């Protein structure tokens, strides 16, 4: 069966393409605006296009990437399975201790920063209700890696650690997030493609870890980490990963990944 990766030049898409090639697959990786996207048979589609860090500065591009293009693909209908990458950020407005994929979502449409959430939610809705039962959604937690250009706070932290033994970070040790390594995300996406009807799946670790707890791993490795702030923000809901586990994927805890990175890497 054919395989297509949309957003193949992005953070998740690049690693996914490499993993598929290692499995002897030859994914098609169309460039943005490729006219063949809506006319050829796509097979299994991994929809990895999207904006993360700069969504607030590019709201119209965000809507196009998260909803407009996937709308066109769903309407054309030339695919066997469509896996849409969304985000566990959709849970952030919920005053709940724990959430799962069936938890109803709540958004404030007057908040300009909710363009990201609402556009992802619309993409999810199109894939889950208009794709003839062939759609699935992967809600990704905070994905990290240490390759150059990897986005996100923890990625930047680990990249800096290659050259800086003592780090000062513009954040608070009390900030908690659910972190999942990029390789585990790829495993989750591939597992979803092989499942009969995965539906919506939280691709996350299922554990909230604070900056301070990650800093303790650095301290144990003989490093020093300081934070410029000390504020305490409300933690997001803890995300259930029971469905991901049922697919046979158990992400490595972030502290273990960081510990191994510091032990095996060549640093200053």
DSSP states along 28-72: B-PPTT-GGGGTS---EEEE----STTTTT-HHHHHIIIIIHHHH
In this prediction, residue 65 has a pLDDT band, given cuts at 50, 70 and 90, of very high
> How long is the chain?
268
Question: Do the two domains 3-142+181-203 and 144-177+206-236+252-264 of this chain adopt the same fold?
Answer: no
Average pLDDT rounded to a whole number, residues 67-95: 96
Both tokens of 247, joined, read 């697919």
pLDDT digits (tens, 9 = 90+) for 189-231: 999 999 999 999 999 999 999 999 999 999 999 999 999 999 9
**Percent of the chain predicted with pLDDT > 90:** 93
Superfamily assignment of 3-142+181-203 in CATH?
NAD(P)-binding Rossmann-like Domain (3.40.50.720)
Residue 96 CA, chain-centre distance (Å), reads 21
pLDDT digits (tens, 9 = 90+) for 230-266: 998 888 999 999 999 999 999 999 999 999 999 997 6
Of 90, 261, 67, residue with least CA distance to 159? 261
Amino acid 38: pLDDT: 96
How far is 17 from 267, CA to CA, in rounded Å? 28
178, containing H or E segment: strand 176-181
pLDDT digits (tens, 9 = 90+) for 133-188: 999 999 999 999 999 999 999 999 999 999 999 999 999 999 999 999 999 999 99
Amino acid 267: pLDDT: 64
Strands 208-210 and 176-181: antiparallel
Is the pLDDT score of 268 beyond 60? Answer: no
Evaluated on CA atoms 147, 149, 150, 153, the torsion sign reads: positive
Amino acid 157: pLDDT: 98
Domains of the chain by residue range: 3-142+181-203, 144-177+206-236+252-264
Contact of 10 with 50, CB cutoff 8 Å:
yes
CATH code, residues 144-177+206-236+252-264? 3.90.25.10
């Amino acid at each position: 069966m054919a395989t297509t990766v949309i957003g193949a030049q992005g953070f998740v898409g690049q690693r996914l393409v490499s993993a598929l090639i290692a499995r002897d697959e030859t994914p098609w990786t169309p460039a943005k605006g490729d006219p063949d996207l809506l006319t050829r048979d796509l097979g299994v589609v991994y929809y990895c296009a999207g904006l993360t860090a700069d969504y607030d500065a590019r709201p119209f591009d965000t809507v196009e990437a998260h909803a407009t293009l996937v709308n066109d693909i769903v309407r054309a209908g030339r695919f066997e399975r469509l896996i849409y990458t969304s985000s566990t950020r959709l849970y952030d407005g919920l005053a709940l201790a724990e959430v799962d994929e069936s938890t109803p979502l709540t958004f404030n449409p007057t908040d300009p920063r909710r363009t990201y959430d609402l556009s992802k939610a619309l993409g999810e809705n199109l894939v889950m209700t208009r794709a003839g039962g062939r759609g699935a959604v992967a809600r990704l937690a905070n994905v990290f890696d240490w390759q150059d250009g990897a986005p996100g706070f923890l990625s930047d932290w680990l990249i800096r650690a290659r050259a800086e033994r003592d780090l000062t970070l513009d954040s608070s040790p009390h900030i908690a997030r659910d972190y999942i390594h990029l390789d585990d995300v790829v495993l989750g996406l591939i597992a979803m493609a092989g499942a009969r009807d995965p539906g919506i799946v939280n691709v996350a670790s299922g554990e909230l870890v604070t900056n301070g707890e990650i800093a303790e791993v650095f301290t144990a490795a003989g490093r020093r980490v300081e934070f410029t702030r000390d504020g305490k923000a409300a933690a997001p809901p803890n995300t259930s990963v029971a469905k991901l586990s049922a697919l046979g994927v158990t992400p490595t805890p972030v502290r273990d990944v960081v510990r191994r990175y510091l032990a095996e890497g060549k640093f200053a």
